[in-house]
Amino acid sequence: MIRAMQWIDTHHHLDAPEFDADRAAVVARARAAGVGMLVLPAVMAKHFDTVRTLAYEHRLSYALGIHPLCTGEAADDDLDRLADALRAHAGDPRLVAVGEIGLDLFVPRLDVPRQEHFYAAQLKLARDAGLPVLLHVRRSADLLLKHLRRIEVPGGIGHAFNGSDVQAAAFVERGFRLGFGGAMTFERALQIRHLAATVPDHVPVLETDAPDIPPHWLYRTADDRAAGEASARNEAAELPRIARTLAELRGWSLEHTAAQTSDNARAALPRLAGLAA
């Protein structure tokens, strides 16, 4: 049975306002579904204390970083705030990564040089802290890799990865695992499903990116929304059902999928190994 297994959701924005009304219930549903650990990445400096507090309140884990989509409103001294937070919590076992950081070349009119400035600076902070990174990768794999070749970090996770086979191999060569979630459940997501099926066994990890990237059974089309049907919120309790797709694509049992992806997550984020699920 799925509920007898233990899963790790490597990317869940529990601090998002979509969870304000029932945050504790979201965690309870996740645990009832067998999702024993969530990684909560920050996206802005003002959220650093929030994700840490949530991690301790619910026995989860967290990451600290500035999201590329938030760099436009971030203050220049937010990088100093991140450096201070990483120093202050250097020995915190629940701080498992620097993230969510990266580059987004999909959203128009973003300041790419400013994104690069924040990304490179955060890679240096991760390197100095000895922490892996959670990377936002959206049409930006090659540029992300360019900086990773210059600033080496102890691996991490390429979140919601949708690059080419060559790009995937380049991240794997640098010690990264790749995150697969709701997008993988869509039959038309051919490249994502191809990667999920073919990357080496030690590479895939599972994630929801909740409340975003819903699986196909939660997705609402533009017509649905126009007709008044609310967009469905993703959450960690969906992870075991999402995992069925990975199991089917790879020819794995669910039991093996749970064990392998959890082992992969702990390899990518070593401090997870010391936390009880």
CA nearest to 67, candidates 39, 85, 47, 87:
47
Q: Are 234 and 214 in contact (CB under 8 A)?
A: yes
CB 63 within 8 A of CB 95: yes
Residue 136 assigned as binding residue: yes
Distance CA 210, CA 60 (A): 15
Q: Is 100 annotated as a binding residue?
A: yes
CB 158 within 8 A of CB 179: yes
Q: Is 47 annotated as a binding residue?
A: no
Are the beta carbons of 140 and 170 closer than 8 angstroms?
no
Query: Closest by alpha carbon to 114, among 160, 73, 151?
Result: 73
9 is in an annotated binding site: no
User: Binding site for a divalent metal cation, residues?
Assistant: 11, 13, 100, 136, 159, 209
User: Binding site, residues?
Assistant: 11, 13, 100, 136, 159, 209
